[in-house]
Structure 1
Amino acid sequence: MKRVSVLGCAAALLLCVASSCGVGVDSSPRILQPSSSTSTTPAGPTSGRVTSVLYYVNDGSLIPQISELADRSLQTVLEADLLPPQAGSEVTGTLSSIPAGTRLIGLREAAGNLTLNLSSEFGNVLGLSRQQAIAQLVLTATERSQISSLNLEINGEPIQISTPARGDSGTVTACDFAPLLATEDDAKSAGLSPENNRVLEARRASLLSRC
């Protein structure tokens, strides 16, 4: 009997120890919660669109058009400017002087100067239309404060650029094409929206103060 009593005490002691160690017993099974992790899933690209200013031709003058693009990178903006203006713009006479099919082969930026390498289609435009086509690219690119001058290449070969302000030059600025920018009367005739007109007025004032 004494041995049974000792065994009973030992069993009770073991139960007590288990209880004092905090080992609990649930009345029903628990669902294990997943452990937290320090790893994160990389954020995907944003699906929103942004606006940028592109320049086109209306009745011989350069006008701005606020356009929706995927991003504001120089390549995206300039590639968009190589395309016709947004649908419906032709109703108001807004067109592009850049030849159809012109592609941006590459661009190089250094110390405020931008070199654009265009495909051979760009060589198909001549005379005043060529000045307008180049003005579209120059005014669009120099909307960026970090771009002050441009050089052009066709299939990697540098070209001389004809300007209305100072004749032919290898390097040009927005000032060289200021005479082609739409006047206040031009803007009224083109029926510019208030937003586009504000952009035009600001650009005209900026060029007037610098050129």
Structure 2
Amino acid sequence: MPIPLKPHPTYKRLLAELKREGEKLKSRWEAPVYRCVELKWARPKYLISGEGTRQRGSRWMRPNNSRVMHAASTETLALKESRQAYDYYGIHKPRQNPRVSVELLVELQQVIDLRKLREILDSPTIEELLGEDWEKLNSSGVETLAQTVGRAIHDLGYEGLIAPSAKDRRGRNLIWFPDQLLSESRISISGEKQLEQWLA
């Protein structure tokens, strides 16, 4: 049974600051993004559900809080991100573990661009957020600072956030909350019918 996480003490302050300064950090996203996933998760019904992340948590959201999707700005970055678990635990990537790279077409109207964070808030810095060992902290019952930021963004009604990749600071990751998409926003899977056919 998962350890209940103690809420981070800075949540209320961050919520207030993001509420006050959110317009300066707000952005739109209109560009393809990429996911690189194992075959069992490549089916369209799983690919953009965000349910797995809701259960397990991620860098930007504590477990059991909300559905969350993660994608990378390039295919190369998506592959790097997909190796995170192997790199974290020092596991050699199994040769018999094929992965599928899938393009998603995304249009979001209201996301927070954390790359502008330093211009707006004195703390936390993006390096602090990307440097946390969120899995270790969660396993000890602690909500991370990055998860607190993600939760505040979610609770303010934004669709998601843009952040540098922890694997490659030159790259961008798009994180969004499927349950909070605006009516004019769009998420679609490129080649969805073919993907469903070949994975049947």
Under a length normalisation based on structure 1, what TM-score does the superposition of the two structures give?
Answer: 0.23
Under a length normalisation based on structure 2, what TM-score does the superposition of the two structures give?
Answer: 0.24
